[in-house]
Amino acid sequence: MKIRPFAALRPTQDSAPLVAAVPYDVVDTAEARALAAGNPVSFLHVSRPEIDMPEGTDCSSPAAYAQAKAALDALRAGGTLVQDPVPRFYAYRQIMGGHAQTGLVATFDTQDYLAGVLKQHEKTRKDKEDDRTRHIEILQAHTGPAFLTYKDVPEVDAIVAAACAGVPRDDFTAPDGIRHTVWEIPADQADALQALFEQVPVAYIADGHHRSAAASRYAKEHGFVGETRWFMAVAFPASQLRILPYNRLVADLNGLSADELLAKARTIFTVTEAADGVAPGGRHARMYLAGRWYDLAWEVPAGTDVVSSLDVSVLQDRFLAPVLGIDDPRTSPRISFMGGVRGLDELSGRVDQGRAAVAFSMYPVTVGEMMAIADAGAIMPPKSTWFEPKLRSGLFVHVVA
């Protein structure tokens, strides 16, 4: 695959901790507004521009895109974001508790994406692709990196590790306790990195399917000319990554009482009452209903394909669709999803507060399973993987025009 260094638009060293923001798609408008309160340089003003607009503003409206561009222009005009003078590769490390992961920041070829060299494991939604494509078009920039992974290459690891032995460009701990460190990789290593990645047969989109699809669509619409052909991503060795569960919340019980739902669950699964606040310890799920946790266990017949054997698939096919009436979790307004990083107390709390009727705690998919599914050309059920820590937006912007 092809990678290139790029001249990133980056925050000044003193402003980086203030600019860096969670990705646009992991917070809603209210959460984004609260996170950006009192911080005029938060990148959320760019990625979630509706926070600076009247309540109820459509975040996909022309006015919202114009507001996003105005916010990006203001960060540039005020000297908060500064264009690097020369193209570079960067190393980006995140530390969350005892977990650390270090990736290579580069631009990747949209033609590799279209050719299937950058493999997907999720379907994208046209409305979300439209939104991100329009965002690129109006801002003339990729404002958030995609999150890629590839099978470890020791020679790449060595170059990145050598860069990380030097003095970092940025180094700060965000309010959520995650440490973010950025190094510039010496220019004399650029050719070696490009040559090494030419030998990498495939990479996998871990997070950022809509960003990648939108970037490729934008590139195609503009004839793959210049920077439009390339999109920004951070690529991590697979051995460094972890996937957290992606849990489910259903708004109602589809006309059933709690006792009736539990009785139906007992006809489908082996159901036992579980300890409070304990996530599934193996290939099954836990259900929170009417103030209690229940363990849902099942058998998967030998020879079942990898997608159908995933816990999220079993739960969807055997229970969410036939019992709770969630036929299409991509489009149903009755189901919502929560990354495992928020914890089980948050999950059960939504039910106790009446914000959902039932919740399901899932066992996480492995990186190996994700790669196998992508290699087979198959698609995982929606909201199957939650990678953590998330890449911060605003530390790198790729200007395309």
Q: Distance between CA 21 and CA 47 in Å, rounded?
A: 9
**pLDDT of residue 80 exceeding 80:** yes
How high is the pLDDT of residue 124? 86
How high is the pLDDT of residue 189? 98
The SS3 call for residue 119 is: strand
Q: At which residue do the structure tokens 């005020």 appear? A: 78
How high is the pLDDT of residue 382? 81
If residue 111 lies in a helix (H) or strand (E), which one and from where to where? helix 110-114
Strand 270-273 to 146-150 pairing: unpaired
How high is the pLDDT of residue 39? 98
Q: Distance between CA 84 and CA 386 in Å, rounded?
A: 32
The SS3 call for residue 54 is: coil
Percentage above 90 pLDDT, the chain: 81
Q: What is the CA radius of gyration of the chain?
A: 22
How high is the pLDDT of residue 279? 64
Kindly state the DSSP code that residue 189 receives in the 8-state scheme: G
pLDDT in tens, 259-287: 999 999 999 999 999 877 666 666 689 99
**pLDDT of residue 306 exceeding 90:** no
How does residue 16 score in pLDDT terms, banded at 50, 70 and 90?
Answer: very high
If residue 76 lies in a helix (H) or strand (E), which one and from where to where? helix 62-77
Report whether 253 contacts 280 (CB < 8 A).
no
Q: Distance between CA 298 and CA 317 in Å, rounded?
A: 13
Q: Distance between CA 157 and CA 103 in Å, rounded?
A: 9
**pLDDT of residue 356 exceeding 90:** yes
For 26, 58, 360, 383, the CA distances from 333, given in Å and listed in that order, are 17, 18, 17, 14
pLDDT in tens, 124-139: 888 999 999 999 999 9
The verdict on whether omega for the bond into residue 87 sits within 30 degrees of 0, i.e. cis, is no
Q: Distance between CA 362 and CA 284 in Å, rounded?
A: 7
For 25, 38, 383, the CA distances from 364, given in Å and listed in that order, are 20, 36, 11
165 or 308: which carries more pLDDT confidence? 165
Q: Distance between CA 290 and CA 279 in Å, rounded?
A: 18
Whole-number average pLDDT of the chain: 94
pLDDT in tens, 205-245: 999 999 999 999 999 999 999 999 999 999 999 999 988 88
Q: What is the mean pLDDT of residues 297-323?
A: 92
What tokens appear for 26 in the block? 């992991």
pLDDT in tens, 324-333: 999 999 889 9
How high is the pLDDT of residue 24? 93
Burial class of residue 326 (count of CB atoms within 10 Å of its CB; 0-12, 13-18, 19+): buried
Burial 100-114 (b: 16+ CB within 10 A, else e): ebbbbbbbbbbbbbe
How does residue 304 score in pLDDT terms, banded at 50, 70 and 90?
Answer: confident
What tokens appear for 326 in the block? 């969630």
**pLDDT of residue 154 exceeding 70:** yes
What tokens appear for 75 in the block? 């960060």
**pLDDT of residue 99 exceeding 90:** yes
